[in-house]
């Protein structure tokens, strides 16, 4: 904060979100960055890192519907039925029961994406 001016910059690799309390101050920062770097201004934020951004009257709404749908598609579960619990509640698991997962990479990828 400088002289009561608040500007937030969120930087992820080569993507930047710039926001603040005053649009004029935010635009001044964007203009200054344009002078120093080659930038592409995509305008009002609508999608960032798998998060969809929509604007309410006095709020921002963040959701990851598309991200979750893509994850379900990738894991082959897009047409699965929704259940209150993902497995039988009284199931007893042991090291010797069941068969190994065919593609551990897919399993790790899906779990890591959560």
Q: Is the dihedral of CA 16, 20, 23, 29 positive or negative?
A: negative
Domain positions in the chain are 1-43, 45-80+109-114
CB contact burial 65-96 (16+ within 10 A = b; e otherwise): eeeeeebeeeeeeeeeeeeeeeeeeeeeeeee
Neighbours of 103 (CB within 10 A): 8
Is residue 2's pLDDT more than 70? Answer: no
Q: What is the pLDDT of residues 51-100, one digit of tens each?
A: 999 999 989 899 999 999 999 998 888 998 888 877 787 888 888 888 88
Residue 15's contacts (CB-CB under 8 Å, 6 or more residues apart) are: 48, 49
Q: pTM for the whole thing?
A: 0.60
Quote the pLDDT of residue 24. Answer: 93
Tell me how far apart the alpha carbons of residues 113 and 109 are, in angstroms, rounded to a whole number: 6
Per the CB < 8 A criterion, the answer to whether 32 and 40 are in contact is no
pLDDT band at 16 (very low <50, low <70, confident <90, very high): very high
pLDDT confidence band for 27 (50 / 70 / 90): very high
Q: What pLDDT does 32 receive?
A: 94
């Amino acid at each position: 904060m400088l002289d009561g001016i608040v500007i937030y910059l969120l930087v992820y690799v080569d993507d930047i979100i710039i926001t603040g309390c005053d649009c004029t101050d935010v635009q001044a920062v964007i203009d200054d960055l344009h002078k120093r770097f080659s930038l592409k201004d995509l305008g009002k934020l609508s999608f960032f890192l798998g998060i969809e951004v929509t604007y309410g009257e006095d709020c921002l709404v963040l959701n990851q519907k598309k991200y979750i749908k893509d994850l379900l598609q990738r894991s082959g579960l897009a047409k699965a039925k929704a259940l209150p619990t993902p497995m039988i509640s009284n199931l007893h698991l042991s090291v010797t029961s069941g068969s190994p997962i065919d593609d551990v990479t897919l399993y790790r990828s899906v779990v890591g994406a959560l």
